Amino acid sequence: MLCELEVTVPGMVLRAVDGEERHIEGMIAPWDKPTRVTRPIPGYESYKRGAFDRSLSEAKRPIPLMLRHTEDPAAVMVANDNREDGHYATFKVLRTRAGDDALELVREGLYTGLSVGGWAVPARTTVRRAAGGKQLIERAEMRLDHVALVREPAFDDARVMTLREFDEYDPVAAAQARRRIRQRLHVLA
């Protein structure tokens, strides 16, 4: 039986499209919206428009979408777009356990945040005092290593916006997968 998925989650659209590929799309970082950070320098951090452009144009390997920054890749970036409000990306979900887990976590609304991982370019980073004496770290360039699917992103706007999948649907396998995810999340809690 073929199944098309269409679910609405607050602030996110989940829908199916024709084809066999599965995709996760969303904003990976907003431009010029400071957020509170504790590392590497306590204060507020923001990204300037185009901060990832050079890194992405020079990438020698696909940029993975990881689960929680440390687990196996769940997807690979297949498209990205530097828009007026932030940097957006589309990830092709892998047909692996991590990929299936990522789809289920997004589908259930548990992991809908996106978080960038990489290295700031020191010569393109400015640190100054903001109102109230707080440090403001502005990143004009970052070497992007990966993006992570997380529960709570550092930037509120950095979220999954679309989940697309079209797949053979096995209700028993789907129920078993949901049960495995819930058991793993219970252990992590």
CA distance 99 to 88: 20
CA distance 149 to 139: 21
The one-digit pLDDT tens for each residue of the chain (189 residues) are: 344 444 444 444 444 343 457 899 999 999 999 988 877 677 889 999 999 999 999 999 999 999 988 888 999 999 999 999 999 999 999 999 999 999 999 988 899 999 999 998 999 999 888 777 788 999 999 999 999 999 988 888 888 888 776 545 456 655 666 666 666 555 554
| Record: fold of 2-31+52-125+142-188 | Serine Protease, Human Cytomegalovirus Protease; Chain A (3.20.16)
CA distance 61 to 64: 9
| Maximal CA-CA distance, the chain | 60
What is the tally of helices (H) and strands (E) in the chain? 3, 15
Sequence length of the chain is: 189
